[in-house]
Structure 1
Amino acid sequence: MAFQNNELSSNASVSPGNFILHPSWNYNGLVPSVVFFLSFLLGVPGNIAVIIFRPNFQHLSSVSQKLMLNLVVSDLLCLLTLPLWIYAFLYMWTFGPVACKLLTFFVYFSKYGSGLTVTVLSVQRYLLVVHQKNWTYQMGVRLLLVSIILSIPPLVFRQVITNENTTLCESQYSSEAQWITVLLVEGLVGFTIFFLVVFSYTRLQKKVKQAAFFNNPQTTRLVTSIIMSLLVFWVPYHFFNVLSAAAIFLNNEDLFKFCLTALYTVKALHAVNSCLNPLLYAFTSHNLCCKKSLSTKI
Structure 2
Amino acid sequence: YEYFNHSNLNSTSETTAYLVSSGLMGLCFMIGVPGNIGVILFILLRFKKVNFTAHLMLNLAAADILCLITLPVWIYSVLDNIDRVTCKFFTALVYCSAYSSVITVTMLSVYRCLRIRHPQLWSRMSKRRKRVLLISSWALALLFSCPGVLTQEIVKVESKMECERILKSEAILIVALLESLLGFFVPFTIMLTSYYCLYKTATQGAFRHRHRPTKLVTRIVIVFFIFWAPHQIIKLEEICAAFLQSETVLSFISDIAGSLTFINSCVNPFLYAFSSKSLHKRKNESDTDD
TM-score of the pair, normalised by structure 2: 0.83
Looking at structure 1, the residues matched to 273 and 199 of structure 2 have their Cα atoms a distance apart, in angstroms, of: 18
SS in 1 for 2:209: coil
SS in 2 for 1:162: strand
Q: Which runs of 5+ in 1 are unaligned?
A: 1-13
Please, which of 108, 111, 116 is the counterpart of residue 121 of structure 1? Answer: 108
SS in 1 for 2:198: helix
Percent of residue pairs identical: 33
- The answer on whether the counterparts of 1:60 and 1:297 sit within 8 Å (CA) in structure 2 is no
Aligned length, in residue pairs:
272
Shift of 1:225: 2.0
Looking at structure 2, the residues matched to 288 and 204 of structure 1 have their Cα atoms a distance apart, in angstroms, of: 20
Q: Which stretches of structure 1, 4 residues or more, deviate above 4 A after TM superposition?
A: 22-25, 55-61, 218-221, 287-291
Alignment of 1:77-226 (within 5 A): 77-89=66-78, 91-94=79-82, 96-132=83-119, 133-134=121-122, 135-136=125-126, 137=129, 138-175=132-169, 177-189=170-182, 190-210=184-204, 211=206, 214=209, 216=211, 218-219=212-213, 221-226=215-220
Shift of 1:83: 1.2
Residue 11 of structure 1 corresponds to none
Looking at structure 2, the residues matched to 265 and 167 of structure 1 have their Cα atoms a distance apart, in angstroms, of: 20
- The answer on whether the counterparts of 1:153 and 1:182 sit within 8 Å (CA) in structure 2 is yes
Deviates more, 1:133-142 or 1:228-237: 133-142
Residue 29 of structure 1 corresponds to 18
SS in 2 for 1:124: helix
Residue 252 of structure 2 corresponds to 261
Looking at structure 1, the residues matched to 217 and 138 of structure 2 have their Cα atoms a distance apart, in angstroms, of: 26
- The answer on whether the counterparts of 2:20 and 2:256 sit within 8 Å (CA) in structure 1 is yes
Looking at structure 1, the residues matched to 58 and 112 of structure 2 have their Cα atoms a distance apart, in angstroms, of: 16
Q: Which runs of 5+ in 2 are unaligned?
A: none
Looking at structure 2, the residues matched to 213 and 57 of structure 1 have their Cα atoms a distance apart, in angstroms, of: 29
Looking at structure 2, the residues matched to 68 and 262 of structure 1 have their Cα atoms a distance apart, in angstroms, of: 31
Question: What is the one-letter code of the residue matched to 2:52?
Answer: V
Residue 43 of structure 2 corresponds to 54
SS in 2 for 1:26: helix
SS in 1 for 2:252: helix
Q: Give deviations 1:156-179, integer Å, cap 9, x for gaps.
A: 11112234321111122442x134
Shift of 1:112: 0.3
